[in-house]
Amino acid sequence: MTEVEMPAAYDDTNIFAKILRGELPAHKVYEDDATFAFMDIMPRGKGHCLVIPKKPARNILDVDTTSLSAVVATVQKLAHAVVEAFDADGASIAQFNESAGGQVVFHLHFHVIPRFEGVDLKPHSGDMEKPEILAANAEKIRAALDQL
Ligand code: AMP
């Protein structure tokens, strides 16, 4: 029997690697030397966005701590920005590792989701949000980031 190696190797054909290379579009909200943030195309709540490192990493099991630190710093910026942008009561931060851990796209990412009292997250429906709504929400987040 072949043993599965942990962590598995990074595969640069994943969707987020394609977004980083400009091969697929994204509603960008933030970028610096080490990180990139954009709207989740199937949001589980209004303003749901994702933060990724530019340096290839499959997930938390193989990322180097320099890259991870940069991502977490951007996650904190985005958490402040989404709360401000949507007048939210809080924010949820989520991160999944390998299929067993709920990971679907194998480039490290953190979910940043504004939260509102009494409003549950939507289930994973597979429904894509309208591009104009993603664009409008991205604009609100960029404007909030400018004010931080
Ligand atoms: P997970 O790997 O389970 O943490 O989730 C991957 C996330 O990526 C899901 O929330 C998807 O809605 C999101 N997603 C998948 N494809 C795209 C894309 N092309 N642009 C933005 N978000 C995406």
Quick: pLDDT tens for 89-124: 999 999 999 999 999 999 999 999 999 999 999 988
Mutation test residue for ligand 1: of 105, 109, 110, 125, the one with most atoms within 8 Å of CB = 105
pLDDT for position 124: 84
- Write out pLDDT tens, residues 15-61: 999 999 999 999 999 999 999 999 999 999 999 999 999 999 999 99
CATH number, residue 42: 3.30.428.10
Residue 23: phi, psi to the nearest 5?
A: -85, -20
Sorting pLDDT into bands at 50, 70 and 90, what band is 4?
low
User: Residues 48, 111: contact at Cβ < 8 Å?
Assistant: yes
Domain assignment present for residue 121? The answer is no
Domains held by the chain: number: 1
Is 91 close to ligand 1, i.e. is its CB under 6 Å away? no
Domain assignment present for residue 5? The answer is no
Among the atoms of ligand 1, which is closest to the Cα of residue 48? 10
Mutation test residue for ligand 1: of 104, 111, 124, 130, the one with most atoms within 8 Å of CB = 104
Domain assignment present for residue 87? The answer is yes
Domain assignment present for residue 50? The answer is yes
Domain carrying residue 68: 34-116+128-147
